[in-house]
Amino acid sequence: MTRVKKGVHSLKRRRSILKQAKGFRFGRSKKERQAKDALLHAGNYSFAHRKDKKSHNRKLWNIKINAMARTTGISYSKLIGALKKKNILLDRKILADLAQNSPSVFERIVKEVKI
């Protein structure tokens, strides 16, 4: 059996890890072991915070909808409940966008719901 030397593969792995860790501070960008650990943690945080971002955005949408709804004389919960009863299929993302960028359309939706 022929002898296999692993220098090429080790170097490739090391370069790959250090390239991914570029921009990290101190030994994390220069030392292979620290870079690998830092990348593992970064990956975990990245995964968890992608989930957090979704709930954070939904909370922001709720705040925007509530703020605009209160100016038209209805609370957030009553508005959402009335939309469901009237079978108006607008999600919170769309409602928040309407509240922020085109308040006149949002007010027409609220008037439609109040009737």
> Residue 98 sits in a domain of what CATH number?
1.10.1900.20
Would the pLDDT of 78 be above 80? yes
Q: Is the pLDDT score of 57 beyond 80?
A: yes
Q: Which residue has the tokens 């090429």?
A: 8
Inside any domain, residue 11 = no
Confidence of residue 47 (pLDDT cuts 50, 70, 90): very high
pLDDT at residue 96, rounded to an integer: 97
**Total domains present in the chain:** 1
**This model's pTM is above 0.75:** no
User: Is 65 among the domain residues?
Assistant: yes
34 within some domain: yes
Pair 41, 47: CB distance under 8 Å: no
- Residue in 22, 10, 9, 109 with CA at minimum distance from that of residue 69: 109
Q: Which residues have CB under 8 Å from 28's CB, separation 6+?
A: 21, 34, 35, 37, 38
- What pLDDT shows up at residue 85? 95
Question: Looking at residue 86, what is its pLDDT?
Answer: 93
**pLDDT above 90 (res 64):** yes
Q: Compute the half-sphere exposure of residue 104: CA atoms within 13 Å on the CB side of its CA.
A: 0
74 part of a folded domain: yes
pLDDT mean across residues, the chain: 95
Task: Give the other-Cβ count within 10 Å of 82's Cβ.
Answer: 17
**Confidence class for position 60, pLDDT limits 50, 70, 90:** very high
Cα distance between residue 91 and residue 99, in whole Å = 12
- DSSP 8-state secondary structure symbol assigned to residue 29: G
Domain hosting 58: range is: 25-114
Residue 89, Ramachandran bin (φ over 0: left; ψ between -120 and 50: alpha; else beta): beta
- Give a yes or no: residue 12 inside a domain: no
